[in-house]
Amino acid sequence: MGLVTTKEMFKKSMEQKFAIGAFNVNNMEIIQGITRAAAKQNSPVILQASSGAIKYAGAGYLRRMVEAALEENDIPIALHLDHGADFEICKQCIDNGFTSVMIDGSKYDFEENIALTKRVVDYAHSKGVVVEAELGKLAGIEDDVNVAAEDAMYTDPKQAKEFVQRTGCDSLAIAIGTSHGAYKFKGEAKLRFDILAKIKEELPNTPIVLHGASTVIPELVEICNKYGADIPGAKGVPDEILNQASKLGVSKINVDTDLRLAMTGYIRKSFAENPSNFDPRKYLEPARTAIEDTVEHKIRDVFGSSGKASIC
């Protein structure tokens, strides 16, 4: 099987109420760690590359490494552009064999976001590629906003329906309280499932995407800090909340920060424990295993996609 789009996997996720992990990839070890975990769990998986990842590794390298992973692992894999900022980067990825792209027009006003998204959808669909769009704004705790301003950032369910109808996008990323990075909440972690429920009411057949959904796994932060990192007070979305989200109709859950923590923590540990080593394989291997373990835990214990690899 070659790379697939997310169409079939999302259909099944909505029917059977589980989520598919979308993991950010930047190099070979990350791709191997993720795909080996997904294969062990017989789960579909989405590998996503940001513009930064493409600048770092190259779209062609990323696609070919993902294709190599497909040869080893007999599971459905989609290759997705994460946070495409404009039409050109989406086109570059579509023309380079990606099976899915995100056009992130969330910084624009409603009409501009619609116009940009529709342009990408028209091109992508003509090439058999699917499109994720975003409506609403993901605030971080550094964005000190009052309650009224915070409410305005969440996705409006009625607007969401109009947005999907007018753009024809295949899936929609929503803002219900998550944010990117390792500092998501000051106090208790909380997502607005009431808004999610209203969005699902308006859009029962549209796959919903949650960005900024790393757990910021405390054990990984601890390993990083134990071996010299300085990441105090980091906090993410607990497993129970993500598990609930996957049962309430979220089809795609985006994870990058947890992989960064896994890789960094285990490289730091290896450096600290083996100061005389200078063979990169000796510290990249434990980092790759940590990524594999992290992804396997999410697929099996949180997202519920184990055993869902057959997508017909």
Q: Is residue 180 a contact point for ligand G3H (CB under 6 A)? A: yes
Known catalytic residue: 82?
A: yes
214 contacts which partner out of ligand G3H, ligand 13P, Zn ion, none, CB within 5 to 8 A by kind?
Answer: ligand 13P
DSSP-based three-state secondary structure for 102: strand
Q: Is residue 24 a contact point for ligand G3H (CB under 6 A)? A: yes
Q: Is residue 212 a contact point for ligand 13P (CB under 6 A)? A: yes
> Which of 19, 130, 255, 287 contacts ligand 13P by CB under 6 A?
255
Q: At what angle do helices 257-273 and 218-226 cross, to 10 degrees?
A: 30
Nearest to 13 by CA among 248, 173, 239, 201: 248
Q: Is residue 84 a contact point for ligand 13P (CB under 6 A)? A: no
Q: What is the nearest approach in angstroms of ligand G3H to the Cβ of residue 80?
A: 12
Report how far residue 307's alpha carbon sits from residue 39's, in angstroms, rounded to the nearest whole number. Answer: 9
The active-site residue, picked from 82, 104, 170, 258, is 82
In the chain, count of helices (H) and strands (E)? 13, 8
Report how far residue 234's alpha carbon sits from residue 176's, in angstroms, rounded to the nearest whole number. Answer: 19
Report how far residue 74's alpha carbon sits from residue 94's, in angstroms, rounded to the nearest whole number. Answer: 23
Binding segment toward ligand 13P, per CB under 6 A, in 59-67, 86-94, 145-153, 249-257: 249-257
Nearest to 233 by CA among 181, 179, 176: 181
Q: What is the nearest approach in angstroms of ligand G3H to the Cβ of residue 22?
A: 10
Binding segment toward ligand 13P, per CB under 6 A, in 52-60, 73-81, 205-213, 262-270: 205-213
Q: Enumerate residues 32-51 that contact ligand G3H by CB under 6 A.
A: 50
Per-residue burial over 148-158, b = 16 or more CB atoms within 10 Å of its CB, e = otherwise: eeeeebbbbbe
Q: What is the nearest approach in angstroms of Zn ion to the Cβ of residue 21?
A: 13
Residue 56 CA: distances (Å) to CA of 59, 60, 105: 9, 11, 23
Q: How many CB atoms lie within 10 A of CB 192?
A: 18
Q: Is the CB of 116 or the CB of 285 nearer to ligand 13P? A: 116
Q: Is residue 171 a contact point for ligand 13P (CB under 6 A)? A: no
Task: Name the DSSP class of 46.
Answer: E
Q: What is the nearest approach in angstroms of ligand 13P to the Cβ of residue 275?
A: 31
> At a CB cut-off of 8 Å and minimum separation 6, what does 164 contact?
172, 203, 206
> Which of 29, 256, 292, 296 contacts ligand 13P by CB under 6 A?
256
Q: Is the CB of 12 or the CB of 83 nearer to ligand G3H? A: 83
292 contacts which partner out of ligand 13P, ligand G3H, Zn ion, none, CB within 5 to 8 A by kind?
Answer: none
> Which of 11, 137, 161, 180 contacts ligand 13P by CB under 6 A?
180
Q: Enumerate residues 204-243 that contact Zn ion by CB under 5 A.
A: 211
Per-residue burial over 265-299, b = 16 or more CB atoms within 10 Å of its CB, e = otherwise: bbbbbbeeeeeeeeeeeebbebbbbbbbebbbbbb
Residues near ligand 13P, by CB under 6 A: 24, 82-83, 180-181, 211-214, 254-257
Where on the chain is the footprint of Zn ion (CB under 5 A)?
211
Catalytic residues: 82
